[in-house]
Structure 1
Amino acid sequence: MSLSAYLRDNLAAIVTGALCCLGVAGMMAALGTGPDATVLVPCFVAACGAVALGIGYVRRRRFYAELARIVEDLDRTYFASELVDAPDFLEGRLAHEALEAVGKAAADDVSFHRQQAESYRDYIELWIHEIKTPIAAAHLMAADLHGETASKLKAELDRIESYVEQALFYARSTSLARDYAIREIGLADAVRTACKKNARYLIERGVVPSVEVGEDVTVFADASWLAFILGQIVVNAAKYGAAVVRFSAREEDAGTSAARTVLEVADDGQGIPASDVPRVFDRGFTGRNGRAQGSATGMGLYLVAMLCQKMGLGVGLASEEGAGTRVMLAFPHDRRRKDAL
């Protein structure tokens, strides 16, 4: 709160005080008290009024400045009343009480919706676990079938299972609970696991994976989450015309606190238009290629980015339309660093 704003807010009181001083001066002159008293008494009244205004400004300025600072620093502004002391002037106390009421209502509303979201997430996870039983049964029945129709049926079952798994990881990515474990794992094993899990789809699309990752290369990650991430990248490459998906690893910034292992997944597919590249990790964004496919959900790369963020990994993408796409995953060597990319 600036002084000019405070004076404008109290303009009526200032004008009234000035008129009172003029009135007192007129009365003193009419009573014949002499010129010194006629000037001194109104000036004393005006000085008292100015002091009162100054004290009021200082009290209010302290409260509103502290409130503005806390609101600017807080992510959840409805907690502001808990961090600001109630002031000792009336309008400030009224404002503080209003803040408390609004904050309590907002906190109750947030708590209610959080409980609803958690209940819905719990239901989704339960449903996913339940739906896995009929999917597994369908896989067993389809195993005895042969021929082209049977192959198509198995491929569709794989797609259903992939979408169910995607829903499960999406539900987990929005949870505050930490249901993953960061351990040292072999990067080549994680790549092979992802390719094996999506082998039927890769074969159907005629995609050949090329693993150029040393057996001695290890990274810190959750094995199942990393397999899912790589699976989403591989499926995307196959979906958009890749014939070869090449996995390679390199170490960057060795010997420094920013040391990391970078896994590059490169394909020779149709690539991504330059205008779409900045948004590929946005939730629900399908882009020109996705709209042309018709079956894209825009959730695959969004989940990749979300899960990488949860595990403290870096992720980046580079693409040239007609030449292919490269996805880079950065695994920090120092697990205390969350900003390795």
Structure 2
Amino acid sequence: MIWLFLRERLSWILFFAICMLWMNLLLYLDVGFMEVSTTYLNATLIFFFLTFLVWRYFKEMKFVKDIADMPNNFHRVEELLMSKLNESALELERYKNELTIQFSEERDQHLAWVHEVKTPLTAMKLIIEDLPIDTRKSLELEWLRIHLLLDQSLHTLRLASIEQDTILDKVALEKVVAKEIKELMSWCLAKNLAIDIEGIQVSILSDQKWLSFIIRQILSNAVKYSHKGDTITIYGTKDDEGHQQLHIQDSGDGIDPADVPRIFQKAFTGSTGRKQSASTGMGLYLAQNAAKKLGISIAVQSKVNVGSNFTLTFPNSDEFVKTISK
């Protein structure tokens, strides 16, 4: 073992020998050094070198022993790490529960506030309907704008718990669309818009409340970006796999090709949306998130100054059940 240790350190021994030769050469050439004992200097240098070698030897022997005990050390380290990880997991779980409770309480407070605002808003609607027609038109549009913003706020809060707020039922698609058109009728009349409906006399398996919300966001965008006197076409088709589809097509401003991949992002308004001061960039974001929960896919085809066509593809019964069960 010692021989192996020394053999691996031949470079050190060689360096020591060179130092010894160099020192003795200096002693031989410089007469001043002769006053000092050559034997004493050599002995001192050899002592320090041997001390260094012994120290390195025992240190490396300890390292070898540590390597031999490494499996046991790893086991102890693993136990320590697992203990720390379990403590961290418990701490994270407690923190998560606290955040969930806090969020739930704040959400309930916001929901209560939104419901309180809806009551006077409904009363305002009844008052507006009794006003003269000329005055009523402008007030109805402002009322509708507030109503839609409040509706977005309400569904934003509910979206986090949509799984608990979903009721599976057969929904008459034409009935849902007609209801949403009626809600937006004052806006359509103000812009002199025509709405054509065809081929949606079908029933689908979905949640009526959330489906209405999704259609409302897309239809309100179609009305918002349509020009005066335009026509909005709502029609139904089936894709190659037999899934029912709903198309909402307008001939308005259209969407810039660079904006199309981002229109479902949160708060994204795009170049077209910036022209509208009322645009929040939340409608399509909320619609997309709600649609995913219901297994509905939303696709869009659009061309600037030609218009947009939003397509909702509904899942069949089995697909819908799998989606809401996730």
Q: Same fold (TM over 0.5)?
A: yes
Letter in 1 for 2:178: R
User: What percent of counterpart residues are identical?
Assistant: 27
Change in Cα spacing, 1:324 to 1:176, as seen in structure 2 (3 Å) is closer
Residue 236 of structure 2 corresponds to which residue in structure 1?
249
Residue 290 of structure 1 corresponds to which residue in structure 2?
273
Match of 1:150 among 109, 126, 136: 136
**Larger helix fraction of residues:** 2
Give CA-to-partner distance per residue, 1:154-187, whole Å, 9 cap, x none.
2211221121111111111122652121211221
Residue 116 of structure 2 corresponds to which residue in structure 1?
130
How far 1:121 moved relative to its partner? 1.2
Match of 1:307 among 271, 285, 290: 290
How far 1:278 moved relative to its partner? 0.3
Separation in structure 2 between the aligned mates of residue 186 and residue 226 of structure 1, nearest angstrom = 11
1:229 maps to 2:204: no
Separation in structure 2 between the aligned mates of residue 59 and residue 314 of structure 1, nearest angstrom = 54
3-state SS in 1 of match to 2:265: coil
Residue 76 of structure 1 corresponds to which residue in structure 2?
none
Residue 173 of structure 2 corresponds to which residue in structure 1?
187
3-state SS in 2 of match to 1:282: coil
Change in Cα spacing, 1:313 to 1:176, as seen in structure 2 (3 Å) is closer
Alignment of 1:73-222 (within 5 A): 88-89=75-76, 91-175=77-161, 177-215=163-201, 217-222=202-207
1:270 maps to 2:253: yes
User: CA contact under 8 A between 1:212 and 1:249: conserved in structure 2?
Assistant: yes
Change in Cα spacing, 1:283 to 1:24, as seen in structure 2 (3 Å) is same
User: CA contact under 8 A between 2:237 and 2:244: conserved in structure 1?
Assistant: yes
User: CA contact under 8 A between 2:169 and 2:205: conserved in structure 1?
Assistant: yes
Give CA-to-partner distance per residue, 1:215-258, whole Å, 9 cap, x none.
2x22111122212211111110111125211111112234xxxx
Residue 243 of structure 2 corresponds to which residue in structure 1?
260
User: CA contact under 8 A between 1:182 and 1:311: conserved in structure 2?
Assistant: no
Residue 4 of structure 1 corresponds to which residue in structure 2?
none
TM superposition score normalised by structure 2: 0.74
Change in Cα spacing, 1:147 to 1:98, as seen in structure 2 (3 Å) is same
Letter in 2 for 1:293: Q
Change in Cα spacing, 1:97 to 1:20, as seen in structure 2 (3 Å) is farther
How far 1:106 moved relative to its partner? 2.1
Separation in structure 2 between the aligned mates of residue 179 and residue 294 of structure 1, nearest angstrom = 32
Give CA-to-partner distance per residue, 1:120-158, whole Å, 9 cap, x none.
111121111111111111112222211422321122112
Give CA-to-partner distance per residue, 1:75-131, whole Å, 9 cap, x none.
xxxxxxxxxxxxx32x22232232223222222222222211111111121111111
3-state SS in 2 of match to 1:322: coil
Gaps of at least 5 residues in structure 2 are 9-59
RMSD: 3.0
Change in Cα spacing, 1:57 to 1:270, as seen in structure 2 (3 Å) is farther
TM superposition score normalised by structure 1: 0.71
How far 1:267 moved relative to its partner? 0.8
Separation in structure 2 between the aligned mates of residue 150 and residue 19 of structure 1, nearest angstrom = 105
Structure of larger gyration radius? 2
How far 1:24 moved relative to its partner? 12
Gaps of at least 5 residues in structure 1 are 1-17, 26-44, 61-87
Separation in structure 1 between the aligned mates of residue 314 and residue 302 of structure 2, nearest angstrom = 21
